[in-house]
Amino acid sequence: MKSSILVLITSLLVGGAGLTAPARADDASIVVQSTTSTQNSGLYGYLLPLFKADTGITVHVVAVGTGQAINNARNCDGDVLLVHAKSAEQDFVSNGYGVARFDLMYNDFVIVGPPADPAGIGGGHNAVEALKKIAGAKALFASRGDNSGTHKKELALWKESGIDPTAASGQWYRETGSGMGATLNAGIGMSAYVLTDRATWISFANKGFFVILVEGDKALFNQYGVILVNPEKCPTVRAAAGQRFVDWLLSAPGQRAIGEYRRGGKQLFFPNAAPR
């Protein structure tokens, strides 16, 4: 009885899935575990059709925080990892989960906030100093709090400032535990400072009155890397197709396409792969 129900359910599900081609049934598609900033800024919408035209390979992007993306890739649930947290990426490779890591492109982080600027950080070019002022003024600060690349960067800046903001968690330090866009929505809703990558900020549609207050600090550099998930660890990885995607991104046409992508006339990502 039990087994016949199982068979019935399985056949229903498989039948249902047959209506659209499953993601993994053909070799001409790969899954890329990536970050919300690349997705929300529309970069993939621009790059992937170009890649498909060149190679015929369909790329399915799962856009989550860097921490979750790395974790999913560790579980072999992706063929390529494209994120922005260099040391975590290097760990991923040195632990054998990735084949090799390549610098792909960069942009920078900025601190945005209300024009009233209660902590007086506007016009500054030093992120650590700005965070010190925010903490000193106990001005509201909205943190990702989700172990994403942006969150890791923010924590590194706090560490440098010698301040432990989590001691004030729930008071002036608000950890949203959600994505960049959701954190911006929350920050704007409660007039809190937010550290965000510039690509997400430029393409973000709900800026309200918020403006960029701190930018142009070397410490705010934001490097993206790309890694093929290791087929030795994960035999199911579409290594050939995944490698083609990595090679294409690092090649002259791929790098040119990244540099050509504009949003509102502004360049969001700056290609910087080493010539191969």
Partner 1 sequence: MQDFAESIRVAFHLVVSADADLLEIIGLSLRVSLSALVVACLIGLPLGALLAIRRFPGRGVALVVVNSLMGLPPVVVGLIAYLSLSRAGPLGWLELLYTPTAMIIAQTVLVAPIVAALSRQLLEDLHKEYAEQFRSLCVPQRTAIAALIWDGRYSLLTVALAGFGRAIAEVGAVIIVGGNIDHLTRVMTTAIALETSKGDLPLALALGMVLLVIALVVNALVMALRTTAERYAYA
C-beta separation of 177 from 143 below 8 A: no
Interior angle at CA 269, CA 265 and CA 270, nearest 5: 110
Beta strands (DSSP E) in 12-140 are: 29-35, 58-64, 80-83, 98-113
Q: Cβ closer to partner 1: 56 or 136?
A: 56
| Residues contacting 112, CB < 8 A, separation 6+ | 184, 187, 193, 194, 196, 201, 210, 211, 212, 213
Closest CA to 150 of 242, 49, 64: 64
Q: Cβ closer to partner 1: 119 or 180?
A: 180
Residues in contact with partner 1 by the rule CB under 8 A: 5, 8-9, 12-14, 16-17, 19-20, 22-25, 31, 36, 40, 45, 60-63, 72, 74-77, 179-182, 184-185, 203-207, 234, 236
Q: In the bound complex, what is the minimum distance in angstroms from residue 2's beta carbon to partner 1?
A: 11
The DSSP secondary-structure symbol of 274 reads P
Q: In the bound complex, what is the minimum distance in angstroms from residue 158's beta carbon to partner 1?
A: 24
> Angle formed by the axes of helices 239-250 and 43-55, to 10°?
110
C-beta separation of 128 from 157 below 8 A: yes
Q: Cβ closer to partner 1: 49 or 162?
A: 49
Neighbouring C-beta atoms of residue 90, cutoff 10 Å: 14
Q: Cβ closer to partner 1: 166 or 206?
A: 206
Q: How far apart are CA 197 and CA 221, in angstroms?
A: 9
Q: In the bound complex, what is the minimum distance in angstroms from residue 120's beta carbon to partner 1?
A: 26
Q: In the bound complex, what is the minimum distance in angstroms from residue 188's beta carbon to partner 1?
A: 9
Q: In the bound complex, what is the minimum distance in angstroms from residue 59's beta carbon to partner 1?
A: 10
Q: In the bound complex, what is the minimum distance in angstroms from residue 74's beta carbon to partner 1?
A: 8
Closest CA to 249 of 42, 55, 41: 55
C-beta separation of 118 from 139 below 8 A: yes
Q: Cβ closer to partner 1: 71 or 272?
A: 71
Q: In the bound complex, what is the minimum distance in angstroms from residue 162's beta carbon to partner 1?
A: 32
Q: Cβ closer to partner 1: 60 or 266?
A: 60
Q: Cβ closer to partner 1: 14 or 252?
A: 14
